[in-house]
Amino acid sequence: MSVSLPWHEPQFQSLLTRLRENRFPHALLLTGRPGLGKHFFSAKLAEVLLCLERHTVGSACGKCRGCQLYRAHTHTDLHEVNVLEDKKVIGVDQIRAISDYLSLKSQFGGYKIVIISPADKMNINAANSLLKTLEEPPMWSLLILVTAHPASLPPTIRSRCQQLSFVTPRQEVARAWLNEQGANGDDLELALRLAGGAPLAALEIATGDWLERRRQIFAGFEKVLLNKVDPITTAAEWLKFDARATIYWLYSWITDMIRLRTGNDSEGIINGDIGGRLEQLSGVITSQSWFKCLDEASDAWRYAESQVNTPLLFENLLVALANRK
């Protein structure tokens, strides 16, 4: 990947200007839909701030001691807080550890940086604890909060951060970048559309096995709708897929079918590659029932974030689909 992503450049340059003018914020909130590279941005910013030669070079030099440690992932002035492997949220202990960490002197006398990602995963106690640090930030500290769901953060936290909003780049910018990453061919346009224009998400779709998984999930969805298979059996088969991704596909198919059925915005459907099939299937259930199914999918989407019981989530959704006619 290049030094910075092309659609990040304006925000990056404006932060570097603030750095030169000694107006750099203590806390940043990076927002925007998944797949725009917010986390990548936070890491690149940390790299520049930790470079000991940045004042002369204007970016990370890649050679100094700071850059070497950064690249070896052993820089002690950078700390990242994520959801721990066996947990669903970022807990208060993880956030308390930040204030202890920031109170210690930095290794090279420069910034101490903490990246919290995804910040919306902090539970209420964690958020309250972070608020204290945000209210009295130690000198030369920088907190970078990364989230696709800023509304899930308490307003008191949002108001104490400088917000940087990332938006979907123009199609030609995204396409050119994807080409540079080696993504080409027929699937590229489809991937970009399925990713809602977010280039990193599109890259994952175009180069991973997403499209094949989507094909398999769609086959199961179709059979359940046509009552050719027991929904419980399909739910069990789907356990090998990521819950959120699976529910996302279902949600997008149902949304498209409602669009097709109501005759509104058939041009704007997301899954254009299977539009014909979706149009046929949309007639299997009444419009009213489709809206109910959309509600079910929407609930499942919310639960997929918090509920551990994925089998039950799939079962409920598929049984609802099979029974609504």
At closest approach, how far in Å is the CB of 55 from Zn ion? 10
**CA–CA distances in Å: residue 134 to residues 122, 130, 157, 229, 279:** 15, 6, 8, 54, 51
Q: Is the CB of 75 or the CB of 160 nearer to Zn ion?
A: 75
**67 touching Zn ion, by CB under 5 A:** yes
Q: Which of 213, 268, 278, 266 is nearest to 242 (CA)?
A: 213
**51 touching Zn ion, by CB under 5 A:** yes
* Choices 7-15, 55-63, 85-93, 117-125 (CB under 5 A): range interacting with Zn ion: 55-63
Edge-to-edge, what's the strand order for the sheet holding 112-116? 78-81, 112-116, 141-147, 27-31, 162-165
Peptide bond into 118 cis (omega under 30): yes
At closest approach, how far in Å is the CB of 69 from Zn ion? 10
The H-or-E segment that residue 221 falls in is helix 210-225
* Choices 64-72, 149-157, 207-215, 231-239 (CB under 5 A): range interacting with Zn ion: 64-72
At closest approach, how far in Å is the CB of 74 from Zn ion? 15
- Contacts of residue 308, defined as CB under 8 A and 6 or more positions apart, other chains included, come to 88
**53 touching Zn ion, by CB under 5 A:** yes
Burial class (CB in 10 A: 0-12, 13-18, 19+), 283: exposed
**61 touching Zn ion, by CB under 5 A:** yes
**273 touching Zn ion, by CB under 5 A:** no
* Choices 57-65, 130-138, 164-172, 235-243 (CB under 5 A): range interacting with Zn ion: 57-65
Alpha carbon distance 300, 297 (integer Å): 5
If binding means CB under 5 A, how many residues of this protein chain bind Zn ion? Answer: 5
Q: Is the CB of 51 or the CB of 195 nearer to Zn ion?
A: 51
Q: Is the CB of 66 or the CB of 169 nearer to Zn ion?
A: 66
- Contacts with Zn ion by CB under 5 A lie at 51, 53, 61, 64, 67
